[in-house]
Amino acid sequence: MLHIVDDEDVIRDALAWLAQSRGLEARGYASGEAFLAAVGSSVAPAANGTQGAQDAQGDCVLLDVRMPGMNGVAVFDQLVKNGLSARLPVIFLTGHGDVPMAVDSLKRGAFDFFEKPFNDNVLMDRVEEALAASRKALEGAVVQARLATLSAREREVLDLILAGMMNKVVADKLGISMRTVEVHRAHIFDKMQVKTAVELAGLLK
């Protein structure tokens, strides 16, 4: 989802059209306050890890620096404060006088900035890169949520599985029966939502 935050209707509509021409879904907000009010529910990941990591949807924000009320930098600061800046990469749209402000935000984690007027295709290419970065961050959050559901013993078994050890070797190393290893292995696969050790390794690489 591309979130377009700009107080000018014509700019929001033009950017939404550009996004749709690339097959991207876009949503517009006339103010920073409206965006922040909506953003909590629209980007929150599944806290228990039940969401498919490969189904994670990325988000990106095109954020105008100068707006009535809450300006773009204040909106970005709030995203950082709420721990959302990695999953919601911000691309600032700036006027000439706002460039130093945008550069400072880059140092604090903003994804990029474009000075107006900008090249449409270059901007959309960067948006797609930001969406990919957001998907990667969200996938990582989903995987970490699944890992958090494993018991201490399951984590031990997981580490040995990832090291390529067979069930018998795992059993000998941990001083437990092979049947117990098989049960732990089944629980790990179920909690991590995988069917094979290869798939598990790919998820955690």
pLDDT tens-place string over residues 116-163: 889 999 999 999 999 998 888 888 888 989 999 999 999 999 999 999
SS3 for 75? helix
pLDDT tens-place string over residues 65-124: 999 999 999 999 999 998 888 789 999 998 877 778 888 888 888 999 998 889 999 999
Q: Decide which of 3.20.20.140, 3.40.50.970, 3.40.50.2300, 2.70.50.60 is the CATH code for 2-147.
A: 3.40.50.2300
Nearest Cα residue to 171 out of 162, 163, 182: 182
Nearest Cα residue to 88 out of 15, 1, 29, 21: 1
| Angle at alpha carbon of residue 131, lines to 125 and 118, rounded to 5° | 35
pLDDT of residue 127: 96
SS3 for 196? coil
What's the pTM value of the predicted model, to 2 decimals? 0.71
For domain 152-204, the CATH class is mainly alpha
Could you state, in order of their start, the residue ranges of all structural domains in the chain? 2-147, 152-204
Task: Check if the beta carbon of residue 113 is closer than 8 Å to that of residue 100.
Answer: no
**Predicted confidence (pLDDT) at residue 52 exceeds the cutoff of 90:** no
pLDDT tens-place string over residues 9-47: 999 999 999 999 999 999 999 999 999 998 864 544 444
pLDDT of residue 56: 52
**Predicted confidence (pLDDT) at residue 60 exceeds the cutoff of 90:** yes
| Angle at alpha carbon of residue 126, lines to 123 and 132, rounded to 5° | 145
